[in-house]
Amino acid sequence: MNLHEAIREAFTVEYLMTPRERLETASECPAPQDDPCYDVIPRTVGERIVGLWVLREGKYVSEPLTEEWMLAHSTPIREVIRLFSTTDAKPAYLVVNGARVDGIISPADLNKVACRTYLFTLIGELEYWLGKLIRRHLSEGEVITLLSSDRQAALDDERQRMQGKGMDIGYIDILSLADIVNIVAKDETLRERLGYQSRKQVEEDLNGLVHLRNDVAHPVRKMSFLSCTDGILQKLERIETLLERITESLKESHSARASSGNTRTLAIQGLGCGS
CATH number at residue 25: 3.10.580.10
pTM: 0.85
- Look at residue 187 and tell me if it is in a domain: yes
> 137 and 49, same structural domain?
no
> 220 and 134, same structural domain?
yes
Note the Cα 141 to chain centre separation in Å: 31
The lowest-confidence range among 59-68, 85-94, 195-204, 255-264 is: 255-264
Asked whether 53 and 43 are in contact (CB, 8 A), the reply is yes
What is d(CA 130, CA 243) in angstroms, rounded to the nearest whole number? 9
In angstroms, what is the C-alpha Rg of the chain? 26
> 78 and 149, same structural domain?
no
- Look at residue 269 and tell me if it is in a domain: no
What is the share, in percent, of the chain residues with pLDDT greater than 70?
89
Q: Ramachandran region of residue 140, left (φ > 0), alpha (ψ -120 to 50) or beta?
A: alpha
> 162 and 126, same structural domain?
yes
- Look at residue 267 and tell me if it is in a domain: no
DSSP per residue, the chain: --HHHHHHHHSBGGGTSEEGGG---BSSPPPP-SS-S-SEEEEEETTEEEEEEEEETTEEEEEE--GGGEEETT-BHHHHHHHHHSTT--S-EEEEETTEEEEEE-GGGGGSHHHHHHHHHHHHHHHHHHHHHHHHH--HHHHHHTS-HHHHHHHHHHHHHHHTTT----SGGG--HHHHHHHHHH-HHHHHHTT-S-HHHHHHHHHHHHHHHHHHT-TTS--GGGG-HHHHHHHHHHHHHHHHHHHHHHHHHHHHHHHHHHHHHHHHHHHHHH-
Please tell me the predicted confidence (pLDDT) of residue 37: 85
> 54 and 127, same structural domain?
no
What is the share, in percent, of the chain residues with pLDDT greater than 90?
72
> 151 and 75, same structural domain?
no
- Look at residue 131 and tell me if it is in a domain: yes
Task: Look over the chain and give the mean of its residue pLDDT values, rounded to a whole number.
Answer: 89
> 158 and 135, same structural domain?
yes
Please tell me the predicted confidence (pLDDT) of residue 152: 96
Domain end among 59, 74, 106: 106
> 130 and 94, same structural domain?
no
> 77 and 10, same structural domain?
yes
- Look at residue 272 and tell me if it is in a domain: no
> 247 and 117, same structural domain?
yes
Domain count, the chain: 2
What is d(CA 78, CA 81) in angstroms, rounded to the nearest whole number? 5
Please tell me the predicted confidence (pLDDT) of residue 275: 47
> 230 and 169, same structural domain?
yes
Segment 232-255 shows an average pLDDT of 89
- Look at residue 265 and tell me if it is in a domain: no
Instruction: Name the amino acid, one letter, at 261.
Output: G
What is d(CA 27, CA 48) in angstroms, rounded to the nearest whole number? 10
Please tell me the predicted confidence (pLDDT) of residue 263: 56
Q: For residue 41, give its domain range.
A: 3-106
- Look at residue 259 and tell me if it is in a domain: no
Domain end among 106, 121, 154: 106
Please tell me the predicted confidence (pLDDT) of residue 7: 85
- Look at residue 273 and tell me if it is in a domain: no
Question: Does 259 have pLDDT greater than 70?
Answer: no
> 161 and 212, same structural domain?
yes
